[in-house]
Amino acid sequence: MAMYREKRFEEIKKLLAARSELSIEDIMKAVGVSRDTARRDIVALDAQGVARRTRGGLVSLSFGHTIPSYSARLKRFSTQKTKMAKSALTLIKPGGVYFIDDSTTLLKLSQSIRQPVTVYTHSLDNAIALSVEERVNLHLFGGKLDHHARFFFEPTMLETLRRIAFDAAFIGATAIAEDGVYFSYMEDAQVKQAAALSARRVVVVSETEKFQIEAPYRGLELGQITTLITDKKLSQTHKQWFAPQTQFLLGD
């Protein structure tokens, strides 16, 4: 029995290394145990100091202290990202003019658009996805490519963004704090800020894990957000950070 328990722990640790966050259901499914056994394993792994216990499962010790790379983010939460992208797609209307940024969730949105719309983006991957849809009038901002985050930037882009009246700007958060939405790169934060100021509607998509992550550059104030799309319901504390008129949508 002890060997079996140790093997379970090894499997859980491998899965946690790949995904950073596991729910009780994830553990039950991965190692084939009951809910009570999964809970006991969570307590034991937390006590061993190999992971941190949460209300719903386990997170890695580095969770909330580091920002995953673009490729790593793309592999994680694929079901949730698809659901959030589906909710975002309901806000796309024929004939609209939109800014779509370099979020991995918004890449899924870009892959789903099948309507005659105009889209501006600085994301290499969004541009590739949208280029195959002839009904999309695509504008890709140029400049220097950041190979890690896969977006283009040049200072003149900011002035161009200020001259465009977007029906909506779709923005993916790197981190959310009580005083705003934060991003990993200063130039990227500037782009999102300029797009948001030019948009009639600011739509931010964010997994709820982003409330536990820190990033260095603030791009938006929470009061600027018209619609927030998340993978789970926000806690009452987090919900109170936003303006009363903010619309909250779940990916479903």
CATH 1.10.260.40 fits domain 2-59: no
Tokens of 246: 């903010």
Per-residue confidence (pLDDT) for residue 1, from 0 to 100: 42
To the question of pTM greater than 0.85 for the whole model, the response is no
Q: How far apart are CA 153 and CA 19, in angstroms?
A: 30
Confirm whether 2-59 and 70-250 share one CATH topology. no
Output the CA–CA distances (angstroms, integers) from residue 114 to 84, 138, 166, 170, 227, in the order listed.
17, 13, 19, 17, 22
Residue 51: is its pLDDT beyond 50?
yes
Task: Show the 3-state SS of 37-55.
Answer: HHHHHHHHHHHHCCCEECC
CATH number of 70-250: 3.40.50.1360
pLDDT of residue 119 exceeding 80: yes
- Identify whether the C-beta of residue 81 lies closer than 8 Å to the C-beta of residue 158: no
By C-alpha distance, which of 131, 143, 130, 209 is closest to 170? 130
Which of the pair, 125 or 99, is modelled with greater confidence? 99
Residue 77 pLDDT > 90: no
Where are the domains positioned within the chain?
2-59, 70-250
Which of 187 and 54 is assigned the larger pLDDT? Answer: 187
Q: Has residue 64 got a pLDDT over 70?
A: no
Average pLDDT over every residue of 144-151: 85
Mean pLDDT in the chain? 87
Among the listed ranges 46-50, 153-157, 179-183, 219-223, which one has the minimum average pLDDT value?
A: 46-50
